[in-house]
Structure 1
């Protein structure tokens, strides 16, 4: 796994208020379905853990998504926009809602709910980051 991806996975878990570090492994829940997820201390994803861009990267720079992107710092890689999700949920969102774009009402509803959930789970990274 690339070092940059590991860094982003660690940013997501370090800023997730549900994440617990135990025995060299981070434990948290999928942002979508709340399935248990694990991430090694070095950022290696275990099982079905994947990196979720809550506001899709492709939406950045689009006028219809301005309200969303402003909430995460106008940068797709901002830790507020990164979360852990199981691969099935992440893939499903990418194939449906992300692909529809910010002009689609249902896609905006899904991204809005996920962004609210991510920001509700936010915590400052602290000394581990």
Structure 2
């Protein structure tokens, strides 16, 4: 697994208020279906864990998505836009809502709801962690 992906997975876990670290693994729940997910201390996805860009990367820079992207700092890899999801939920979202684009009212509604869930689960990193 690429080190950049590991860093993003760890960032998603560290900033998830539901995530718990036991010294060896991060444990949390899928942003979509709340299935149990695990991540190694090094950032390796275990089982069905995958990285979710809550607001799809392809939506950034599109005027129809500005209301959503502005909530995550206009960067697709901003920690507020990263979450852990099970692979089946993440891939289903990619085939359905992400592909429809922000101009589709149903896709916009679903991504808005997911973003609200992610922001409700937000946990800021301690100052020492942000410097890394």
Which SS does the other structure have where 1:37 is aligned? Answer: strand
Shift of 1:125: 1.5
Q: Identify the residue that residue 21 of structure 1 maps to in structure 2.
A: 21
Shift of 1:128: 4.8
Could you tell me whether the CA contact under 8 Å between 1:53 and 1:82 is conserved in 2?
A: yes
Q: Identify the residue that residue 69 of structure 2 maps to in structure 1.
A: 69
Unpaired segments ≥5 residues, structure 1: none
* Corresponding residue pairs, total: 129
1:6-50 deviation per Cα after TM superposition (whole angstroms, max 9, x unaligned): 000011000000000014100000000000000000000000000
- Alpha-carbon RMSD: 0.9
Shift of 1:106: 0.5
Unpaired segments ≥5 residues, structure 2: none
| Runs of 4+ with deviation above 2 angstroms | none
Could you tell me whether the CA contact under 8 Å between 1:14 and 1:128 is conserved in 2?
A: no
